[in-house]
Amino acid sequence: MKTIVLKQRPVGTPTLSDFELINSDMDLNPNKGELVLETTYVSVDPYLRGRMSDAKSYVPPFEVGKPLSSGIVAKVTASQNDHFKEGDYVVGMLDWKTKQISNGEGLLKVDGDKAPLSAYLGVLGMTGLTAYLGLTEIGKPKAGETLVVSGAAGAVGSVVGQIGKILGLNVVGIAGTDEKVEMLKSDFKFDHAINYNSTEDMGAALKKACPNGIDIYFDNVGGAISDAVLFNINRFARMIICGAISVYNSTEIPNSISVQPFLIKNSALMQGFIVSNYSDKFPQAMQQLATWLAEEKLSYSETIVEGFDSTPQAFLDLFEGKNKGKMIVKA
Ligand code: NDP
């Protein structure tokens, strides 16, 4: 059995030396009410970076020397719990272990016949819910409006843009490579896409891509890209502040422009978003995402990394933009 623990808190950009892989021989025998789980897929997510530091946040920090955890799809290999039987697959927040005991709390059964098991970590999981609920609850989209999404080729962003198209919006994506830009336009039918790494003046590029201005901004990255968006927002624009990956590894307070004048003169809304605040809406949102998927109105991309031991590297690769769509480790 293997476990990945946080060896030390990263300073700045995390490195492999911040993680430790521990091998152990242990028989896992479930007591009454418990089940044994074997990890199938591990989700790596940018927000885990926040939990690696000990700053106060909306979720408690990981503890040094203890296993990390994230969304995991696992197979039930033994069960003394009435709600789960051997052979079931479940998804839940679980430890970075190849095998573990659970009491079943917080686990949801998933059906590999309805959708590939990995999809329950992406489009039918936390990142799909984030895309749908962030866009609809805060963005309040109306057909004909212009939506800009940053981190557009990632797990959340690629679904945001596609939902925008389903709802009749003009959709502009921002991503880090020409290959990603091409994917957004050809696979996901975005109206425009901009490679921020090869664009000198993001403000001008956005002006050109959004001749009618920006009504909704779904922000996954923060920093200079989001500053450029502010110069192009319309009156009553809505900005969903979902993520800020460009500053997650900063060791100094980022040097950003002052947002207040842009908000005031445009009567614009900027709201922080945390998906777990909307848990009462998860069943309806899941249903909608599954329906669009079945109708082939929605598709998704995944980057699957092989081998449980590669989990830390897959996490680090998120900050290098090595994923297209959801980054997942196949254990
Ligand atoms: P992604 O799949 O989008 O992966 C991260 C992507 O971020 C990379 O592929 C890379 O793409 C891009 N990126 C990395 N560094 C930078 C940078 N310096 N500047 C701009 N882009 C960068 O991750 P997710 O879809 O899972 O998450 C997207 C965002 O949403 C994250 O910030 C995450 O923390 C947040 N989030 C928030 C939730 C909430 O409830 N608030 C829930 C889920 C996610 P590229 O090649 O384009 O640079």
pLDDT band at 27 (very low <50, low <70, confident <90, very high): confident
Q: Are the C-beta atoms of residues 184 and 159 closer than 8 Å to each other?
A: no
Residue closest by Cα to atom 11 of ligand 1: 321
Give residue 24's pLDDT.
Answer: 95
Task: In whole angstroms, give the CA distance from residue 73 to residue 323.
Answer: 19
Q: Residue 115: count other Cβ atoms within 10 Å of its Cβ.
A: 18
Q: Are the C-beta atoms of residues 329 and 314 closer than 8 Å to each other?
A: yes
Give residue 214's pLDDT.
Answer: 98
Q: What percent of the chain has pLDDT over 90?
A: 96
Residue corresponding to tokens 């885990």: 48
pTM of the model: 0.98
Q: Is the CB of 301 under 6 A from ligand 1?
A: no
- For 285-307, write each residue's pLDDT tens digit: 999 999 999 999 999 999 999 99
Q: Is the CB of 311 under 6 A from ligand 1?
A: no
244 CA distance to ligand 1 centroid (A)?
Answer: 7
Instruction: Specify the pairing of strand 146-150 against strand 170-175.
Output: parallel
243 CA distance to ligand 1 centroid (A)?
Answer: 7
219 CA distance to ligand 1 centroid (A)?
Answer: 9
In the chain, domain spans: 2-122+300-330, 126-276
Q: Compute the half-sphere exposure of residue 16: CA atoms within 13 Å on the CB side of its CA.
A: 7
Q: Is the pLDDT of residue 59 over 90?
A: no
Q: Is the CB of 282 under 6 A from ligand 1?
A: no
Question: Domain 126-276 falls in which CATH fold?
Answer: Rossmann fold (3.40.50)
For a mutational test of ligand 1's pocket, the pick from 13, 221, 248, i.e. the residue with the most ligand atoms closer than 8 A to its C-beta, is 221
ipTM, two decimals, is: 0.99
Q: Are the C-beta atoms of residues 147 and 168 closer than 8 Å to each other?
A: no
Q: Is the CB of 317 under 6 A from ligand 1?
A: no
The SS3 assignment for 189 reads coil
Give residue 235's pLDDT.
Answer: 98
Task: Let me know if domain 2-122+300-330 sits in CATH 3.90.180.10.
Answer: yes
33 CA distance to ligand 1 centroid (A)?
Answer: 38
Residue in 150, 171, 22 with CA at minimum distance from that of residue 95: 22
Q: Is the pLDDT of residue 76 over 90?
A: yes
Q: What value does the mean pLDDT take over residues 258-284?
A: 97
- For 129-138, write each residue's pLDDT tens digit: 999 999 999 9
Give residue 26's pLDDT.
Answer: 83
Q: Are the C-beta atoms of residues 166 and 298 closer than 8 Å to each other?
A: yes
Q: Is the pLDDT of residue 57 over 90?
A: no
- For 219-240, write each residue's pLDDT tens digit: 999 999 999 999 999 999 999 9
- For 264-274, write each residue's pLDDT tens digit: 999 999 999 99
Q: Is the CB of 59 under 6 A from ligand 1?
A: no
Task: In whole angstroms, give the CA distance from residue 259 to residue 108.
Answer: 41
Q: What value does the mean pLDDT take over residues 199-213?
A: 98
Q: What value does the mean pLDDT take over residues 89-103?
A: 98
